[in-house]
Structure 1
Amino acid sequence: MASAPKTSGSHKVVFAALAGNLAIAVTKFVAALLTGSSAMLTEAIHSTVDTGNQGLLLLGLARAGRPPSQTHPFGYGMELYFWSFVVSLMIFALGGAVSVYQGVHKILEPEAIDRAWINFLVIGLAVLFEGGSFLVAWREFKTVRGDIPFFRALKGSKDPSIFAVLLEDGAALLGLAIAALGVAGSVAGLAWADGAASVAIGVLLVLVAVFLANETRSLLTGEAAAPRVVQAVREALARDPRVENVTEVLSMHLGPREILLGVTLDFHDALTAGQIEDAADEFAALIQGVDARITRVFVRSGRARAAYERRAG
């Protein structure tokens, strides 16, 4: 069967995020060195981690696109889920934990921020870069989700290369707002504000990491296709007069755009074995026509299955 289409939209989202985060990371590190701001250093670390994460997602996309082999007959689509899980660990350990540590240290030993205007300038530039990357991810996500509500679409998304970037960029924009408040508080005389902002940014990153880890864990352990896809398959099969009952529809995502699907059908008794075999071949093509992501289809007779189970029992 034909392999899944290349994830050009996913590549575009990740490349946009990579370019934006790399530029932002360099700018933030320079600003942190010039001003001594803990919140800005935290943001620089955050952007560096994000840059590395985009590299891991690109690696995952490349490895997931390899053709099936003897050892992996269903392809390597799940590699993207693995590398996305690694990304969540990176955000937690190198983003969240380091940011919290840096913030606590700054609260206990506060230092004045020099040339705060540099921080505000960098934050403004970072908002432009992050905002551009976020818009690219948002447009792609919006195209995929259709009219499904945002949070339900986010939870149900099968493409971590899109929702990971969307979450990272969203957290980055919120983190920039927190960093600006921290710098402003320090300028106003609140010595602890800069460190507190670092802690808040770290907690935000930890929350993003936990959500991303949970979603990719679910995908790695074999998540089913969306209910609307399964229902569409059921309805398409039930309309055929040769089918008496659609007993079972099982599905699993092998990648963002690859679905393995197995159906168990009760055929009418009047059909011969040859007719049932021909119908099964036709149904495989019918099912693939329901959704282009369905790349592997298995059809079996429910009565044949029941007979086998009786013999086995």
Structure 2
Amino acid sequence: MGDEQHGDRGNGPDGGGDSVQEQEGTLTVVLAFLANLGIAVAKIVAAVLTGSASMAAEAAHSVADTFNEVLLMVGLRRSGRPADRRHPLGYGMERYIWTLLVAVAIFGMGALFAFYQGVETLVGHPAEETDPLIGYLVLAVSFVLEAVSWQQAARQVRDAAREEDLPLLAYIRRTDEPTSISVLLEDSAALIGLLLAFAGMGLHQLTGSPLWDGVGSMLIGVLLTTVALMLGRINLNLLIGHQADPRMVADLRERLGAAPEVEWVVDIVTMTVGTDRVLVCARLDFRDALTSGDVERACVRMSQELRDAHEEVDEVFLEPVPRDDPELRRRVIARYGRTLRPDQR
């Protein structure tokens, strides 16, 4: 933009040390990694000993989840790097790349293997199943460990939603912090998958038919595919770049319009550029009586006021423009379907 003003916010996404939310996110991922690693080893042993397709599918699921926690930890670390010459807005959006890879891994490593195991069993090539007792024990222990990890992820997401004053589902749709959501969805799928594996093994034992074991494996594949698609959709929207919380946008517009130097808020654009990092660009029609020095000082003051009001605001670009410019009017109408009314300044 033209005449831009912004202050020094520090080099990192937080302008300093890790935030409480960052620390909570790291704890959630580490806890999930440790739980999934132990569970994956136990399930692999149980799958080999029992020959259960459902258990094998769950073993692949836990291996994928363990690998995914590594990806999430890499994303947390790399996205926190400070801004530099080549990346002046920082590396915050890199977290979304790594979380998107988690969705790919869930499908590629977990869902596809579960489908393969289910098809192998259903078409008449089931593995010979031995005493499933060890399988039941592993599933029970895995459920307890997954529940501990799930509780941590659920608590973090609930606290974040409460802090944003949003219902849980609305927070999941709007959040710019996908790490805890990824762990929550993974752990929720894991708990449901364990129940499906238990049902598949149990019905196989009761009926003597491996059909149920194959069906359990197929259902686990469907479950993992659904989770992968949900995570993919969340991170796709973040990578494309979306508007900040509408409540924040409305408040920013109101604050800019209330400035004594501003005649009209012609346009305002916000974009999430990382977790708790928002870029604000606004085109303002300043009062004609102001000098260029007045406009410069007003831009500096308003930029600071916006950052003080919303700690998520990282960079602010303000551009003086005439509100009757036809090209600007066309662009605003193309974006919003209308121009901003005077009461929306």
Q: Counterpart of 1:121 in structure 2: which amino acid?
A: L
Give the equivalent residue in structure 1 for 2:83: 68
Deviations 1:53-98 (Å, cap 9, x if unpaired)?
1101111111111111211111111111111111111111111111
Q: Where does 1:141-220 land on structure 2 (aligned, <5 Å)?
A: 141-146=157-162, 147-189=165-207, 190-220=209-239
Could you say what secondary structure the match of 1:303 adopts? coil
Whether 2:296 is the aligned partner of 1:287: answer no
Q: Where does 1:21-170 land on structure 2 (aligned, <5 Å)?
A: 21-108=36-123, 109-111=125-127, 113-146=129-162, 147-170=165-188
% identical equivalent positions:
36
Note the C-alpha offset of 1:125. 0.9
Q: Structure 1: how far apart are the matches of 2:294 and 2:38?
A: 63
Q: Counterpart of 1:52 in structure 2: which amino acid?
A: F
Deviations 1:231-287 (Å, cap 9, x if unpaired)?
121122233222222222211111112111111222222322211111110111111
Q: Structure 1: how far apart are the matches of 2:184 and 2:242?
A: 21
Higher mean alpha-carbon deviation, 271-280 vs 102-111, is at 102-111
Q: Structure 1: how far apart are the matches of 2:249 and 2:323?
A: 23
Q: Structure 1: how far apart are the matches of 2:175 and 2:151?
A: 18
Note the C-alpha offset of 1:45. 0.7
Q: Counterpart of 2:167 in structure 1: which amino acid?
A: P
Q: Structure 2: how far apart are the matches of 1:159 and 1:172?
A: 21
TM-score (norm 2): 0.85
Q: Where does 1:273-312 land on structure 2 (aligned, <5 Å)?
A: 273-303=292-322, 306=325
Note the C-alpha offset of 1:309. 7.0
Give the equivalent residue in structure 1 for 2:29: 14
Could you say what secondary structure the match of 1:277 adopts? helix
Whether 2:281 is the aligned partner of 1:262: answer yes
Deviations 1:30-56 (Å, cap 9, x if unpaired)?
111121111111111101100101101
Q: Counterpart of 2:158 in structure 1: which amino acid?
A: K
How many residues are treated as equivalent by the alignment? 310
Give the equivalent residue in structure 1 for 2:241: 222
Q: Structure 2: how far apart are the matches of 1:90 and 1:214?
A: 15
Q: Is the 8 A contact 1:179 1:194 kept in 2?
A: yes
Deviations 1:211-238 (Å, cap 9, x if unpaired)?
1112111111112211112112112223
Q: Structure 1: how far apart are the matches of 2:61 and 2:41?
A: 11
Could you say what secondary structure the match of 2:322 adopts? helix
Backbone CA RMSD of aligned residues: 1.9
Give the equivalent residue in structure 2 for 1:272: 291
In structure 2, the gaps of 5 or more residues are 1-8, 330-345
Higher mean alpha-carbon deviation, 245-254 vs 44-53, is at 245-254
Q: Structure 2: how far apart are the matches of 1:25 and 1:229?
A: 43
Q: Structure 2: how far apart are the matches of 1:143 and 1:236?
A: 28
Q: Structure 1: how far apart are the matches of 2:38 and 2:264?
A: 58
Could you say what secondary structure the match of 1:244 adopts? strand
Q: Structure 2: how far apart are the matches of 1:235 and 1:113?
A: 67
Residues 89 and 46 (structure 1 numbering): CA distance in 2 closer, same or farther, change over 3 Å? same
In the TM superposition, structure 1's runs of 4+ consecutive aligned residues that sit over 6 Å from their partners are 307-310
Give the equivalent residue in structure 2 for 1:4: 13
Give the equivalent residue in structure 2 for 1:253: 272
Note the C-alpha offset of 1:150. 2.1
Higher mean alpha-carbon deviation, 108-117 vs 16-25, is at 108-117
Q: Is the 8 A contact 1:112 1:191 kept in 2?
A: no
Q: Counterpart of 2:262 in structure 1: which amino acid?
A: V
Q: Is the 8 A contact 1:113 1:186 kept in 2?
A: no
Q: Is the 8 A contact 1:232 1:290 kept in 2?
A: no
Q: Counterpart of 1:284 in structure 2: which amino acid?
A: S
Q: Counterpart of 1:240 in structure 2: which amino acid?
A: A
Higher mean alpha-carbon deviation, 300-309 vs 119-128, is at 300-309
